[in-house]
Structure 1
Amino acid sequence: KQQIKEAVEAMFDVTVLRVNVINRPAKVARSLRNRRRQVRRGAYKKAIVTLKPGDNIDVFEGVL
């Protein structure tokens, strides 16, 4: 979490208040074309970063 906080602050010049990390496990799903075939979807991590009020990241301007 500390590395994510430092990276976001350095890249976007904002103040990070909090970082939450979500670990999503891998899943086995059926293929749409062939129902018997199984496809493995990889695990991934998500980071939710809370910024100081008034700070924003210009990349996401107009998304919400």
Structure 2
Amino acid sequence: MGHPPLEFSDCYLDSPDFRERLKYYEQELERTNKFIKDVIKDGSALISAMRSKWKASTSCFSE
């Protein structure tokens, strides 16, 4: 799925068509931003789970 091109020469006209095309890019940036935040959150949860699993597995050796 491609986006309509944004032309620099159109921005100074500030036409409704330009604003509509710009809206597509803004929505895509919002989706990308949400996806990145979800990846970071999931990655942090995975690292935390791995750390607790590792601590639990090594605690039996220290006794």
Structure 1 length as normaliser, TM-score?
0.20
Decide which structure has greater helix share.
2
- The structure with the larger Rg is 2
Structure 2 length as normaliser, TM-score?
0.20
Decide which structure has greater strand share.
1
